[in-house]
Chain A
Amino acid sequence: MDYIKYCNELLSRLETLAFHELSGMIHWKCEFVGVDFIRSKQIEGKTVDEIVESCSKAIAAEGIVSNITHKVGGDGVMLKLRVKDCIHHPKEAQTKKEGIAPYLCPIANMILDRIHDKLKYTTSYLAKLGIDADNKRCLVFMALYETPDKIGQVSDWLADDEDAEFLASQPSQILGEKEK
């Protein structure tokens, strides 16, 4: 039996059902999906870079992804992940097929959970998911707020970003099709 396929089918069903029930609000309610795995690992680090690297190694070591690279920007508020060959990729494809933009990323949830726990950040937010089905690659943009005064510290995250064009084609959490 293909257990990964089985789990992804379950996840996609839950993702589509939850979106149908709660609309876009569901984006904000799934932040603990995936955290049990990473909490069982020994993740160490004193900075965001160190935590992300430690998480990435643990996640890749178990074969959940082949590779994660990351970039911190926007004066420390932006965390961008590039995730390659995630085992949940078929889940994203199935959810998309149902006409729903995937919003549930266990990998992002794992990393944010460890940042909260280890660095005691005030809050965080999973802001954008870009799914590149052809290349089995995902782009994830997250906002990290170390202290309350970091909220409202704005900059242009996509200026000079090599994936800006691809991201523009990806669904937004707040803009309808007519607004884009």
Chain B
Amino acid sequence: MPDILDVLVTRKSIRRYKPDPIPDEMIDKILEAARWAPTGENYQPWRFIVIRDPETRNRIGDLSKQGSGSRMTAWYCLGELQQRFEKIEDPVKRAEVLRFMYSGEVSEFSKQAPVVIAIIGDLRVGSVDVPYDLCAAIENMLIEAHSLGLGACWVHGPVASTRDAKRFKEILKIPTGMGEYKVIAYLAFGWPREARKHPRPKLLLEDLVYWEEFGRKERP
């Protein structure tokens, strides 16, 4: 079996897309990858809504912008967002990044993505693993998209607050009862307009891994 690590380490979140459409066969492969994710007791609680309609994507983009912007504006006004971006030394660049964040524009990209897929969980099927199963499906979809040459980004912002999650459900006509469906996130997909190779530093394994018990760093 081929080692998938090369695919994993070159994936990154892509938020800028070309307007070119994504072929149906690719969408189907991404959904098929989700279908084969691990799922507790094989309950498969995931359901997917594929959204290509520009008007719906715009509404989702607006809700995402509103969710992120409302939080980040407040964090900026309290002086906390600035601390988070202190590592950017160039003051002009830092100001632009901060504005991009607190305006909410950072989360608006579903408007440009040719395909958006909402990932929802059926809470009535009896599964006790719904959020975990959904996240496993999401990871499979991201990896499959990357292997097909597509860019993608996992977005939780517009469903982060309970009020916004209800608005999101209303946009897609998902039943809004708290015991019915859980919207965990959506994924935006498109042909990348930016490099797909991962440019961000990762913590070293030696900083992440313990052996046999918590805190033990030496490999026995």
Which A residues lie at the B interface, using CB under 8 A? Answer: 25, 28-32, 74, 77-78, 116, 122-125, 127-128, 141-143, 145, 148, 151-158, 167, 172-175, 179-180
Q: Chain B 70-105, CB within 8 Å of chain A: the 1/0 string?
A: 110111111111011000000000000001001110
CB <8 Å contact, A154 and B78:
no
CB <8 Å contact, B80 and A154:
no
B160 at the interface (CB under 8 A from A): yes
Contact sample, A vs B, 21 pairs, CB 8 Å cutoff: A28-B161, A31-B162, A32-B162, A78-B77, A123-B67, A123-B163, A124-B70, A125-B70, A125-B161, A127-B74, A127-B75, A127-B78, A128-B74, A128-B78, A143-B70, A145-B66, A151-B65, A151-B70, A152-B99, A154-B102, A158-B79
Of B62, B74, B80, B162, the residue contacting A143 (CB under 8 A) is: B74
Q: How far is the CA of A25 from the CA of B67 in the complex (A)?
A: 13
Are A156 and B84 also in contact (CB < 8 A) when A29-B162, A148-B62, A151-B66 are? no
Q: How far is the CA of A31 from the CA of B160 in the complex (A)?
A: 11
Known: A151-B66, A180-B83. 15 other contacts (CB 8 A): A29-B161, A78-B77, A116-B163, A122-B66, A125-B74, A127-B74, A128-B78, A143-B77, A151-B65, A151-B73, A152-B103, A156-B77, A156-B79, A158-B79, A174-B75
Residues of B within 8 A of A175 (CB): 80, 83-84
B114 at the interface (CB under 8 A from A): no
CB <8 Å contact, B75 and A173:
yes
Residues of A within 8 A of B71 (CB): 28, 125, 127
Q: How far is the CB of A106 from chain B (nearest CB, A)?
A: 14
Q: How extensive is the interface on chain B, given as a class?
A: 20 to 34
CB <8 Å contact, A174 and B81:
yes
Residues of B within 8 A of A154 (CB): 73, 76-77, 102
Residues of A within 8 A of B66 (CB): 122-123, 145, 148, 151
Q: Chain B 138-172, CB within 8 Å of chain A: the 1/0 string?
A: 00000000000000000010001111100000000
Are A152 and B84 also in contact (CB < 8 A) when A31-B162, A127-B78, A143-B73 are? no
Residues of B within 8 A of A157 (CB): 77-78
Of B73, B79, B161, B162, the residue contacting A77 (CB under 8 A) is: B73
Q: What are the 9 tightest A-B residue pairs by CB atom distance, in nearest-first order?
A: A127-B74, A151-B69, A143-B74, A152-B103, A157-B77, A28-B161, A28-B160, A125-B70, A123-B70
Are A152 and B75 also in contact (CB < 8 A) when A29-B162, A143-B70 are? no
Residue of B nearest to A172 (CB): B80
CB <8 Å contact, B84 and A31:
no
Q: Chain B 46-70, CB within 8 Å of chain A: the 1/0 string?
A: 0000000000000000100111011
